[in-house]
Structure formats: C-alpha cells, structure tokens
Amino acid sequence: MPKSEGQASKKPARSALGAPSQHNQPSRKGKKAWRKNVDLQEVEAGIEELRAEERATGYGSLLLLASSAYPSDSTFLHKQQDDQLFVIDVKGDEKIRSSLPKFKASELTSTKILAQRSAVPAVVSRTTTVKKRKSPLSSEDKNRLLRISKRPRKGPFNSVVDPTEFGAGSATLELSEAVKNSGAYDPWAPAEETEEIKDGLETVQPKKVKTQVPVHSHPRDKIEVPAILEPHQGTSYNPPARVEKAAKLAETKAKIDQATVEAGDEVLGVPPGMKVDEPLPVDEDEDPSAAEVIPKKMPERKTKAQRNKAAKVLAQKRALAEKARKKNELSIINSVKLLRRTANKTLSAREQAHEARRAALQEKLKRGLAGQKLGKHKVPEEEVDVQLGEDLSESLRALKARLTMASLFIFSDIVSGAARRKSVPGPLHESAAARSH
C-alpha cells in the first residue's frame, strides 16, 4: 500500500545528529516540553557547514560568532562579493607547471588523507616535567636480592661460583672474545677468488674491494742530519768570543728561569701568618640550639582572581616565547648563506693552520730527534760544557775529556733515528756499592 503524503513527510523521532527529539508531539505544555521537542536539524546542519568552511579557510566565522561583537555578513563565503572570492588571471603563471604536483601511481590513500590538513592550528602540547623516583633500595641490597633470586652461576668445569667472587681467582676467569676469535680473521689476507656464474648473473655477485697494506713513513726518512754530528764550538780548547758570550747569556737565562720557578709560590710583602686565613676558635660553651628559630610562614591560599591573573600572565609569556622562537627560526633561515660562507672560511683557516703545524713539525724533524719525546722516553740533547778562560787548565795533560768516539757515534745514531732506546732492566741500575754487598 503506497504511503500517503503526510506519512512521506513525517520526520523521524530521533535527530540525525544523535540528539533525542519528538517533533510530532502535538502539545506544548510548558517551556520544557517546547525546548525539548523543537526541531533544530536545519540549524545544526547550517552550523556544521560553517565548521567545514572554517576548516578549509581558517578562522573567520565561528571565532567571530563567539566574540562579543557579532560579525557582519561579509565574513561568510556565501555573503561575500564575487570580486572578493575570485580573480581574473589575465597574465598567467609561467612556473605553475613546475609547482603543480606530479601524478604518482604509487600515491597511497593514507597520503591523500594526510594531505587534507586543517587550516586551524593544532593545540599547543604542554610538556610536564616528571621527576624520576629514586629507588629506596641501595646498591648492596639490590645485589643481595638479585643474588638470592637468580640461579647459581656456573664457572669452568660446571663449578658453581659466587657471583660476587666471580673473576677473583685466576682459575675462574673466562676466555675473552678476542682469544676465542683469534686467528679467524686476517685483515691483510689476499681476497678469495670467486667462481664466475654464467647465465647473465655476473652482476649479482658483489664486488670485493682489494685491501692494501697501509704504508707508514718512518721519521728516519725525513731527518736530514749528517752521520757524525759536529761538536759545539764552545767545547774547543780556545772557543771564539761570540760563542763564549752566547754561552754566558744562556747560563744566566737558565739561572733566572730557575729562580723564577722557585719563587713563584712565595707571596712577597706578606707576613707568614697572613698567607692563609687561620680558623677562628670555636667557643665550646656556646649552645648552637640556643639560637632563635624563626618560624616558617605558610603561604596563603590564592584567590580566584589571583589564579586567573597568574594564568593570564603565563599565557602571555608562552605567546611571547612562541613569537621569539618563530622570529629566531626566520632569522636562521635568512642567514643560511652567511653561515655557509663562515663555515667555509673557518674550515679553510683550520686547514691552513693544520698545514702550518705539519710543515713546522717536518722542519723540526729535519734537524733530528734531539729533545723530542717518543713514547715514554725522551731523546737526550747534546750536552754542551763550555769552559771559560779562567776555568781552562794550564796544560793539555790536565784537560778532562767529556766525550769519547763511541758515545759520539751512539748519540749521532739516536738523533738521526738509526737507533732507538730500550728500557734497561733494574739490576743494571744498581750501584756498585749495592752489587758489592
């Protein structure tokens, strides 16, 4: 049986938006029944359209409706003029083709959904600082509980070992991973030859890079000193006046430096008792508990107006911080080129300084290894003993020799890098008196 026109236009008992309603109730006995049974579907549909418009265009409709001053009809799209919504492009954009997104067959539906972002900014997430709770257990108690709860640890030969005493003796030590894997990998071994695979699968095989033994230069190759070093001119029987004067200046400078180092810790012009503040004597009769204790004042509870004011100030501070952050980001973006040029200049300056230091080391190495520290040993320098005119002996028989040919050859080999110093065992350093006993 076909429905009548009245039945066809009959509205449902429940609203489409989910709110309960009874639109067909004939009676309206009071304000409560009238408000309950009024039909608001068209109003809700219109407000939902305005919300969709807000998500597409941003703030402009509902935000102004919530304010104290109601907006004009020009804020809605359907009330604006055509010249405010549309523009006639008479020139066109030449770069529009490059800016248009290219069609991609692999574009997923999730990507399209994420592309439809709302113009309304997201809610600012406020981070809360959560302090980590300290464990009430101490390290000793924790180790004791772990030792009680776990299984006994087995050592070599399935022997049970206390976890606290594991590794204390030489018999309970496990082999390290380096010892277990020793001899399994040789970095300088020749590469294994792979068999060629036919049927067009040659490109599937990975290409192995040939390892080359690194070549390290020896300092001896860069030293440019003669095989036998010439002795200093001041060690001769009759040194020149220039060398004698230079020796005197060097000796005087060494004495001044030594005196400066020794007198560096002393404070001149201060009595000995004033160097360090002496602690004042403590009166034992004085009772520290007798001092007056100031009671702490409990903070008063804030009123609602004070809390609102504090919240307003906090919101203003956050807004200013966000504004400063955005300004800082824009300034960083604008100064990227300047930062790149500065980084390039700094890098070039560092490279130049590195090359200068390297050249200085090379030049120093050319003069030999005298005075340089190699490992824990230091190469000795040539000892120059200059005897002045009043210190010279009257005859050559009384002249005391300082060097021998053997010591001169050994020193020349050490400076030129041909020989290296080794640590001498302890018994050789013992004195003759100790060896005699």
Q: 83 pLDDT exceeds 80?
A: yes
Q: Interior CA angle at 350 toward 344 and 356, to 5°?
A: 140
Q: What is the pLDDT of residue 68?
A: 39
- The answer on pLDDT for 120 being more than 50 is yes
Q: What is the mean pLDDT of residues 114-126?
A: 74
pLDDT at 200 over 60: yes
Confidence of residue 109 (pLDDT cuts 50, 70, 90): confident
Query: What is d(CA 49, CA 43) in angstroms, rounded to the nearest whole number?
Result: 10
Report how far Cα 338 is from the mean position of its chain's Cα atoms.
Answer: 24
In the predicted structure, residue 13 carries a pLDDT above the cut 60: no
Q: Does the model's pTM come out above 0.85? A: no
**pLDDT score, position 184:** 78
Q: Which of 20-34, 196-210, 372-386, 414-428 has the lowest mean pLDDT?
A: 414-428
User: Other CB atoms closer than 10 Å to residue 415's CB: what's the count?
Assistant: 22
pLDDT in tens, 65-77: 444 344 444 466 7
pLDDT interval class at 312 (50, 70, 90): very high
Give the Cα separation of 356 and 362 in Å (integer).
10
Q: Is the pLDDT of residue 363 over 70?
A: yes
According to the per-residue pLDDT averaged within each range, which of 16-25, 169-178, 334-343, 375-384 is highest?
334-343
Question: 254-293 in b/e burial notation, b at 16+ Cβ within 10 A?
Answer: eeeeeeeeeeeeeeeeeeeeeeeeeeeeeeeeeeeeeeee
User: What pLDDT is stored for residue 311 in this prediction?
Assistant: 94
Model confidence band, residue 15 (pLDDT cutoffs 50, 70, 90)? low
Q: Taking 60 as the threshold, does the pLDDT of residue 207 lie above it?
A: yes
Closest CA to 415 of 361, 367, 368, 365: 368
Average pLDDT over residues 78-99: 81
Question: For residue range 129-170, what is the model confidence (pLDDT) as tens digits?
Answer: 666 667 788 877 876 776 787 656 555 677 766 666 655 554
- Residue ranges per structural domain of the chain: 308-367, 369-392+400-419
For 214-242, what is each residue's pLDDT tens digit? 787 777 778 888 777 777 666 666 667 77
SS (H, E, C) the chain: CCCCHHHHCCCCCECCCCCECCCCCCCCCCHHHHHHHCCCHHHHHHHHHHHHHHHHHCCCCHHHHCCCCCCCHHHCHHHCCHHHHCCCCCCCCCCHHHHCCCCCCCCCHHHHHHHCCCCCCCCCCCCCCCCCCCCCCCHHHHHHHHHHHCCCEECHHHCEECHHHCCCCHHHCCCCHHHHCCCCCCCCCCCCCCCCCCCCCHHHCCCCCCCCCCCCCCHHHHCCCCCCCCCCHHHCCCCCHHHHHHHHHHHHHHHHHHHHHHCCCCCCCCCHHHCCCCCCCCCCCCCHHHCCCCCCCCCCCCCHHHHHHHHHHHHHHHHHHHHHHHHHHHHHHHCHHHHHHHHHHHHHHHHHHHHHHHHHHHHHHHCCCCCCEECCEECCCCCCCCCCHHHCCCCCCCCCCCCCHHHHHHHHHHHHCCCCCCCCCHHHHCCHHHHHC
Q: Has residue 316 got a pLDDT over 90?
A: yes
Give the model's confidence band at 400: pLDDT under 50 very low, under 70 low, under 90 confident, else very high.
Answer: low
**Highest mean pLDDT, choosing among 48-52, 108-112, 366-370, 402-406:** 48-52
Kindly state the tokens that stand for 38. Answer: 């009024």
Task: Please say if the pLDDT value at position 332 is more than 90.
Answer: no
The answer to whether 223 touches 365, Cβ cutoff 8 Å, is yes
Predicted pLDDT of residue 41: 81
Indicate the pLDDT class of residue 62, thresholds 50, 70 and 90: very low
Of the listed ranges 274-283, 366-375, 400-409, the least confidently predicted one is: 274-283
Higher confidence at residue 420 or residue 216? Answer: 216
Q: Would you place residue 410 in the very low, low, confident or very high pLDDT band (cuts 50, 70, 90)? A: confident
Mean pLDDT of 368-377: 79
Rg value, the chain, Cα: 47
Distance in angstroms between the alpha carbons of the first and the last residue of the chain = 136
pLDDT of 286: 57
372, pLDDT greater than 90: no
The whole-number pLDDT of residue 305 equals 92
Mean of per-residue pLDDT scores for the chain: 72
- Is residue 45 within 8 Å of 61, Cβ to Cβ? no
When pLDDT is averaged across residues 409-427 and rounded to a whole number, the result is 66
